[in-house]
Structure 1
């Protein structure tokens, strides 16, 4: 078992305000990647997708690129002993630092994928996050403590993400299919209280570091319409998100209530930047990766002009399925030059 090893807080390189993000005091508009599989190490943990050659992956990226990845408790549990073992995740932070790259560690996900495979309902956000789930060795609250204290000294951490794509639905009869979910009246209040409380703990442990939560932004339970701004107004939430799928080539998807244009306006009113943290378009199986790169480049350009603070693509994998239509982005994909075009660091900002 590896120790939980608390590090002293490290340098805070990324800052945020209504004007956007800065990196080392200079205006920064990151165009980066999601690579959820980085913590997979089949010799240690049960993994989440295929194993990635970390040095090769980070060397593919332009300098100072941000990668959003899964830093789940399950990836810090040794599959042979059942005890905590941070080795696989430590390797991700070390490789990113070697290559001068940045990270957004996602501490858990709404759907339970690669963890307990259980969709998180309203009660998890009330107090379930303080309880130990089956297969875990600690509660999510304790995992936040352990993860933040262990990696807060790393200069690679751009922001901590509490939960990927949260929603505070209820699943009658235990069926959490989309059509069966019910959104309770207090959904937004429950989610806001969770962000306030969990975010406060991160703030105590790593003062000054940005905190985000993976808001999908498309009208999900707890963040529909004006509830998005209500949750986004949490004092322990610094960076807002929107996730963009099923609108190929369209810069500002969505409707007048939950579209990206609405979310940009809400973020500006809150004086907080908005990161389009997932942009996905299918390719493969007869769909051209070159066409996808053109569509996504146009999308990013339009979103940047409209006032977003960055864009992350979904998703790098080491084994792209060329014969299927997927969101897979492999080494050599024409999207990598797009990242280089839009990932920019500019003039110093006061």
Structure 2
């Protein structure tokens, strides 16, 4: 979930402070400070067999959307873009779809009181359950967007994730304690597809306070640091919820810690069940990238590890630069090629309730033709 893909949503969301969500709110808005509140871990509905995902024991090729704004509730939290009518969104999805959503700590903190308030995130799980839809929560954003606003560097992966550094109105727990709180709270949900700790993890080093891609450097031990983090954070999740799959969150395109063979070295962690690749090639090439870090290589590595590889983000610009119909055709061609090459599913970036057709964006609105593409591509059995 790179910075550029969320900036526009944040700007739009800022203007919506104080708005009231249109859909029904079935979850009490009373602030909750109890971090350990859940029934025992439920049996998982999503599993895997070698490189294939399973839904209730049947082979499943999921399609769906990334929907980073679902837990926005301006009356409570800092938000992440515009508010979404949750029943409209989940009610519109086809059966057996998958939604990947940011469930960051800042979206579970009351921005006025600074206390934990899970109600906005609870509402996402409740709405998904009302409509029989599955969700994959991402607990931490690498770049800090919609959360603590801190880019995660090498030291964070070594020790910082276990340390408590409160950010007023955004975070009150260490990441370790946030993982515990989130897993304990939602591990009994029947719509929980799995867990993703960090979206697009990268244990790099910022340069002189500048964390832009060009200014960052990659330490020699990046892969070892990331592997240890995945081992430790994954073991923590398994101790609380032993049945759910853990998703890697990797971009897969040669980032620090997962470049070249490091992708497999980190990906072989026993605490990773599903590998990821994020495709923003913005063209009709089904298998983007080069021989070292391209999608074809990542799929070969996944097969060698015996793990599914989900194209967890596939984004393509449309609007003023390309018609929605043209984008549908292009993404459709990519999904066909990727599935033929062995991908385990695909999630489009990104649903927004307020698309901007006059601009060139990744926006996927409620009436976008990509909805019908998602419905066509899901298979079960």
Q: Please, what TM-score do these two structures have when normalized by structure 2?
A: 0.90
Whether the 8 Å CA contact 1:58–1:101 is kept in 2: the answer is yes
Match for residue 84 of structure 2?
Answer: 52
Deviation at 1:344, TM superposition (A): 1.1
Whether 2:76 is the aligned partner of 1:41: answer: no
Unmatched tracts of structure 2, length 5 or more: 1-30
Deviation at 1:131, TM superposition (A): 1.1
Q: 1:30 to 1:126 in 2, by over 3 A?
A: same
Match for residue 134 of structure 2?
Answer: 102
1:89-145 deviation digits (Å, cap 9, x = unpaired): 000000001101001000001100011212110000000001123411110000000
Q: 1:144 aligns with which of 179, 183, 194?
A: 179
SS for the counterpart of 1:59 is: helix
Q: Please, what TM-score do these two structures have when normalized by structure 1?
A: 0.97
1:210-268 deviation digits (Å, cap 9, x = unpaired): 00121000000000000000000000000000000024211100000000000000000
Match for residue 259 of structure 1?
Answer: 294
Unmatched tracts of structure 1, length 5 or more: none
Whether the 8 Å CA contact 1:116–1:133 is kept in 2: the answer is no
Whether 2:355 is the aligned partner of 1:320: answer: yes
Deviation at 1:11, TM superposition (A): 2.2
Poorly superposed stretches of 4+, deviation over 6 Å: none
1:28-74 deviation digits (Å, cap 9, x = unpaired): 00011100100001111111111000000011110121100000010
1:287-341 deviation digits (Å, cap 9, x = unpaired): 2000000000110011001000000000000010111100000001000010011
Cα distance in 1, alignment partners of residues 198 and 321 from structure 2: 34
Deviation at 1:193, TM superposition (A): 0.2
Whether the 8 Å CA contact 1:171–1:182 is kept in 2: the answer is yes
Cα distance in 2, alignment partners of residues 256 and 309 from structure 1: 20
Cα distance in 1, alignment partners of residues 358 and 148 from structure 2: 30
Cα distance in 1, alignment partners of residues 296 and 248 from structure 2: 19
Cα distance in 1, alignment partners of residues 85 and 298 from structure 2: 36
Aligned residues: 346
Cα distance in 1, alignment partners of residues 277 and 377 from structure 2: 18
Whether the 8 Å CA contact 1:247–1:253 is kept in 2: the answer is no
Match for residue 192 of structure 1?
Answer: 227
Whether 2:66 is the aligned partner of 1:29: answer: no
Cα distance in 2, alignment partners of residues 286 and 225 from structure 1: 33
Whether the 8 Å CA contact 1:41–1:47 is kept in 2: the answer is yes
